[in-house]
Amino acid sequence: MSDPADTPTLSALLPARETFGDLWLHAGPTAWISLLLLAGTTALAVECLLRFRSRSIVPEEEWNHLRALLAAGCHEEALAYCRPRSSFLCAVAETVIEMEVSPRPSDPAAKAERLEEACRRQSSLACRPLLLFSLIGVLAPLIGLTGSVVGIMRAFAGFAGAGEESSLVPLAGSIGPVLTSTACGLLAAIPAFVAYYVFRARADRVLMTAEGAAFDLFPALPRTYRAQSLRRRYDEDREFGLQIAPLIDLLFVLLLFFMVIAAGRGAESELSLRLAGPASASAKAKLAENAAAVRIEIDATGQVFLNRMPIDAATDPALPALRKRLGEIFGKNSDAPVVLIPNAKAKQNRVIDVLQACESAGARHIAFGVPVQ
């Protein structure tokens, strides 16, 4: 059994506290991609602030001028005024004015339907930046998840290559930093989704006002459209959602992995034992100076023998007599080695009982032996 002073603490096994720059480097290319997406979100937000304003969608000067021309019956002048301008109002008014100046007759219902169609088309064009918000919000966490999966694959490969002496602490230390990729993806996705819903509400309000102003230019047209139905029509083209299924899958995979590993090491973790590596020359010389090893045997029934003499009952897990006798031995010689020789049919729980007794008695050196057939 190893010296408790030689046993590394958890703080020694865990990596040192890392700075934000270290975490950023752990994320790798994913961090830079997320930064670019975040910069794109910022640029789109500025554009939407400038785009979705009443004076940009329906300039008051344009509306007053068009209303005066249409009221005076100057449709040719109104059409010439609308064509070089790209505002929402001029674009939708142009479609109806073209029908007014066309030699082909058209009824007011057809003009109203044409105006509704133009409003839907211009609304969709105006809301295109919102699609980019949704696209960033969906892609960013998936890109971050991809970086984390690649890092976890590397961590598992290193864990498998460490063999049977591998520990969960280094694995946890390896998986922790690679999850920074997922965090970077979420940091880019959250502002995009917030901006999407904020500017969608702003666009709905401004565009509904603009559609009403467009119909006010043509009071003779029947108002057959309904604001709510029109709103739903162009909302259907802009609905996106965050696909969180891959994130949930990754969470459950990691959870199951750690549950399986932890369950397999539950009993051993209760013992503060650490298998030592090859002994140095000085350690071998020190052991050679000590007295003969303490021999503990366990037969198939669970009976414990100390130096070939039976001790304690086979059904007693506490082993009080063994603890007392070992305490006396280690009190005289704390470096006395212990050789534990369990029978091949002895139960593992009985072996653990003996190991716990050795630990409580202060054993520092313990080895397993093979029973003589």
Q: What percentage of the chain exceeds 70 in pLDDT?
A: 67
Burial class (CB in 10 A: 0-12, 13-18, 19+), 137: buried
> How far is the C-alpha of 362 from the C-alpha of 359, rounded, in Å?
5
> How far is the C-alpha of 49 from the C-alpha of 42, rounded, in Å?
11
**pLDDT-derived band of residue 43, with 50, 70 and 90 as boundaries?**
very high
pTM over 0.75: no
Question: What is the three-class DSSP state of 363?
Answer: coil
- Look up the CATH number of domain 281-368: 3.30.420.270
pLDDT at 118 over 50: yes
Residue with tokens 């590993």: 261
> How far is the C-alpha of 319 from the C-alpha of 178, rounded, in Å?
47
Mean pLDDT of 256-285: 52
How would DSSP label each residue in 171-206?
Answer: HHHHHHHHTHHHHHHHHHHHHHHHHHHHHHHHHHHH
Output phi, psi for 159, to 5 deg.
Answer: -65, -40
Predicted local distance difference test score (pLDDT) of residue 88: 86
**pLDDT-derived band of residue 169, with 50, 70 and 90 as boundaries?**
low
Predicted local distance difference test score (pLDDT) of residue 42: 92
> How far is the C-alpha of 363 from the C-alpha of 187, rounded, in Å?
53
pLDDT at 129 over 50: yes
- pLDDT (tens digit, 9 = 90+) per residue, 48-62? 888 888 888 888 888
CA 330 to chain centre: 52
- pLDDT (tens digit, 9 = 90+) per residue, 133-145? 888 888 888 888 7
Q: What is the mean pLDDT of the chain?
A: 75
Mean pLDDT of 275-279: 50
What is the bridge-based pairing of β-strands 366-368 and 304-306? unpaired
Instruction: Decide: 232 and 173 in contact? Cβ < 8 Å.
Output: no
Predicted local distance difference test score (pLDDT) of residue 3: 47
Question: In the chain, count of helices (H) and strands (E)?
Answer: 17, 5
Instruction: Decide: 153 and 171 in contact? Cβ < 8 Å.
Output: no
> How far is the C-alpha of 44 from the C-alpha of 50, rounded, in Å?
10
CA distances from 44 to 20, 122, 205, 213, 294 (A): 27, 19, 19, 27, 77
Comparing 13-17, 106-110, 169-173, 330-334, the range with the smallest average pLDDT is: 13-17
Element (H, E) at 26: helix 20-27
Predicted local distance difference test score (pLDDT) of residue 282: 53
Predicted local distance difference test score (pLDDT) of residue 20: 54
Q: What percentage of the chain exceeds 90 in pLDDT?
A: 4
Question: What is the three-class DSSP state of 296?
Answer: strand
Predicted local distance difference test score (pLDDT) of residue 127: 85
* Residue ranges per structural domain of the chain: 1-277, 281-368
Residue with tokens 């399986």: 260
User: Cα angle at 93 between 92 and 98, to 5 degrees?
Assistant: 110
Catalogue the long-range contacts made by 63-69 (C-beta closer than 8 Å, 24 or more residues apart): 63/89, 63/213, 63/217, 66/90, 66/93, 66/217, 67/216, 67/217
Q: Which residues of 53-79 are buried (b: 16+ CB within 10 A; e: fewer)?
A: eeeebbbeebbeebbebbeeeebebbb
> How far is the C-alpha of 145 from the C-alpha of 186, rounded, in Å?
9
**pLDDT-derived band of residue 287, with 50, 70 and 90 as boundaries?**
very low
User: Cα angle at 309 between 304 and 315, to 5 degrees?
Assistant: 25
> How far is the C-alpha of 37 from the C-alpha of 246, rounded, in Å?
20
> How far is the C-alpha of 337 from the C-alpha of 286, rounded, in Å?
11
Residues facing 340 on adjacent strands: 296, 368
